[in-house]
A and B are shown apart, each in its own frame.
Chain A
Amino acid sequence: MALTRAEVEKVALLARLELEPQELELLTAQLARVVEYVDQLAQLDTQGVEPLAHAVELTNVFRPDQVQPSLPRQKALQQAPRTDGEFFRVPAVLEP
């Protein structure tokens, strides 16, 4: 299954990755091989096979609706590049 450069560009944009032209070249070829590898599955006859939603054969894992302590704010904000002690600060998100 061929993968076009335009497709890789789109995926990169959606993942917010900035790629140099030669990186794009390299990754297009590499990604194409990954897709090709997975594409082998298409050779199997899956008629009548239930789609699998999850690899683990477990269902209905719940927790009770009970409050657990949250992090102190200082700790929650600790890893952020920028905060004002109350909020996370991020570059202005312009409402278009």
Chain B
Amino acid sequence: MSEHRYELVVGLEVHVQLLTQTKLFCGCRNQFGAPPNTLTCPVCLGLPGTLPVMNQQAFQLALKAAVALNCEIAPVTKWDRKNYFYPDLPKGYQISQYDLPFSRNGYLEISDPRGRFGPKRVGIIRVHLEEDAGKSLHDETAGQADSRIDLNRAGTPLLEIVTRPDIRSPEEAKAFLTELKLLLTYLEVSDCNMQEGSLRVDANVNLHIHTPEGTVATPIVEVKNMNSFRAVERALAYEAQRQYHQWLSTGHRLGQVPKQTRGWDDQAQITRPQRQKEESSDYRYFPDPDLVPVTVSPEQIEQVRQSLGELPATIRERIQKQYGITPYDADVIVSQGRAVVEYFEKVAQVSGNGKQAANWVQRDVLRTLKERQWTMEQFPLSAEQLGQFVARIAQGRLASSRAREVFDHMLRTQQDVDTAIEALGIQTVDEDTLQELCRRLVEANPKVVQQVRQGKTKALGALVGQAKRENPNVDPRRVQEICRQLIEQAEA
């Protein structure tokens, strides 16, 4: 059978939980991990005679997200009932938005700092605000025929973000999700914690297969149950292969079979069929009579826009230019959040050397934060202190070979760089002393000189070792350089 060229076509449906104090329609606390069924009230239990009232902060956060995603904001929006039966949905319907979502037609720009794909815009069809369902726990142990229901999550605010089918590879899908998560965490709209379910992703996937007779689209499959960005990447890669082989064996095209839902099995690394998706009219949407429409004025949208602050994409570009760092460095720093960006900027300004500041922040500061599980705020050295430290290295007044030692000492004692250098007995060796030392070493080691002349430059290491024993303050790189020059000069 001949191989065909094909294109993967993916649209994502992302649900994120909003960082509000309370649920969407009642005053119960919006909190993960509380003991089961301790955060409920008559409203979110769906008891008769209760009235939902919209949480202002939830709508505000939703607006923020939509404006940051470049969406058009509807002047009037309303909420609808989506009717279906499931035990974790106490009312028998979900309050969601159907034909008048509060926002549409946005986009998010993605790029790859490693350049595996070019920068592109992923279109956003709509963003809407709805309530979450509770949690069902299915007892897997034998003899347990029941499912257990926890309604703490029922009625918590959820943002649904639906993209256009603009994504063309698993890497692009991951880049989109990473950028979306970064944006929403910068905005403090959501913590996007996948382990706690505050970010959930489904994907609509099919292929455009290029055949001699023209392009063929395969039936669209909705892939669910992907519990990490990694799982999304793998599930999409698997699904592309599967659909291609399915098409080879059945020839089924888009429209010839009903839309299928498949779940990602992370253990087996495959997707498996799930229930057939109901047609959307089966949800019998109708406007919720308990909730009144919400209007948004252009002034309000402008206010929201003003409140966004500098967003990740803008910061990345700015710090690259301003501090002369690479796109990759800028990406690493920005992806750590606002606090790290601010810290880096201060270090870069104080030290006057963006590149070195980026190196130290990325390598040593971030590694320390990770090892000790500190936040940036808990890091014991101020940006001022680290900036002066980096300045000394950049000005050649602290040998890079001893810099790590000084950094560790500063971290331990919170001393300034000068105090730390003094405490460690590090002295800057002046150029004359260094030259003199190297000359003596070259004279005293004819064997090494011989080896170097034969091209074994590694032999210089022996001289560096001796130099360090005589004076621990020498910069080994300088010693190596000077010795090499002396040997070469003698040769000439």
Contacts and interface: CB of A to CB of B under 8 A. Distances in A.
A87 B149 contact: yes
Interface in A65-96: 65-73, 76-77, 79, 82, 84, 86-93, 95-96
A54 B78 contact: yes
A60 B146 contact: no
Contacts of B289: 54-55
Interface in A45-68: 53-56, 58-68
A92 B149 CA distance: 11
Nearest to B18: A65
Given A70-B29, A88-B151, A63 B55 contact: yes
A90 B292 contact: no
Given A59-B292, A61-B292, A73-B37, A90 B149 contact: yes
Given A53-B293, A58-B292, A70-B29, A86 B56 contact: no
Contact of A93 (B41, B42, B86): B86
B59 interface: yes
Nearest to A95: B138
Contacts of B282: 14
Interface residues of B, number: 53
A16 B87 CA distance: 13
A62 B295 contact: no
B319 interface: no
Contacts of B294: 59-60
A84 to B, nearest CB: 7
Contacts of B284: 14
A28 B21 CA distance: 48
Given A55-B289, A59-B295, A70 B38 contact: yes
Nearest to A82: B146
B83 interface: yes
B100 A53 contact: yes
B88 to A, nearest CB: 9
Contact of A63 (B56, B274, B293): B56
Contact of B53 (A53, A62, A70): A62
Contacts of A87: 36-37, 137, 148-150
Given A53-B100, A86-B36, A91 B56 contact: no
Contacts of B57: 64-65
Given A62-B54, A93-B138, A76 B275 contact: no
Nearest to A79: B47
B85 interface: yes
Interface of A: 14, 16, 53-56, 58-73, 76-77, 79, 82, 84, 86-93, 95-96
CB-based closest 9 A-B pairs:
A68-B27, A65-B57, A87-B148, A62-B56, A88-B149, A90-B87, A53-B78, A63-B53, A96-B275
